[in-house]
């Protein structure tokens, strides 16, 4: 699943924000939501398949962490967009500063 599509869901965005603070077990994550355990498990699966989180099995627990590699893909996309808009906004600013440019 595409990383952006995975984060389109508000529950999954909340999970990613929670994991930004620290690693959490599936039970700790599930306790923060009114959704059923299977529903939270499905959200975690989507995030894992999108490369946004990793899971470590410790006995009966599954510990989830953000995956830095998955987040780097977002950073790369943002850098690309910022370069595009920064360059184009600079050109617009120069055009508007020209004598005779519309106010």
Cα–Cα dist 77/54, whole Å? 21
For 70, 79, 103, the CA distances from 15, given in Å and listed in that order, are 15, 24, 47
> To which residue do tokens 């599954």 refer?
62
Longest dimension (CA), the chain: 72
Burial zone of 6 (CB within 10 Å; 0-12 exposed, 13-18 middle, 19+ buried) = buried
Both tokens assigned to 15: 């999970």
Residue 14 has pLDDT above 80, yes or no: yes
Q: Where in the chain are the domains?
A: 1-66, 68-103
pLDDT, mean over the chain: 89
Pick the residue with more confidence: 1 or 94?
94
Q: Which CATH architecture has domain 1-66?
A: Orthogonal Bundle (1.10)
Q: What is the pLDDT of residues 22-42, one digit of tens each?
A: 999 999 999 999 999 999 999
Which helix (H) or strand (E) segment holds residue 85: the answer is helix 68-97
């Amino acid at each position: 699943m595409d990383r952006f599509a995975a984060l389109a869901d508000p529950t999954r965005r909340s999970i990613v924000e929670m994991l930004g603070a620290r690693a959490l077990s599936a039970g700790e994550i599930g306790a923060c939501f009114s959704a059923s355990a299977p529903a939270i498990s499905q959200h975690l699966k989507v995030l894992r398949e999108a490369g946004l989180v990793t899971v470590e099995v410790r006995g009966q627990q599954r510990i989830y962490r953000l995956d830095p590699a998955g987040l780097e893909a977002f950073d790369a996309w943002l850098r690309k967009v910022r370069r595009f808009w920064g360059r184009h906004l600079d050109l617009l600013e120069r055009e508007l500063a020209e004598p005779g440019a519309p106010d």
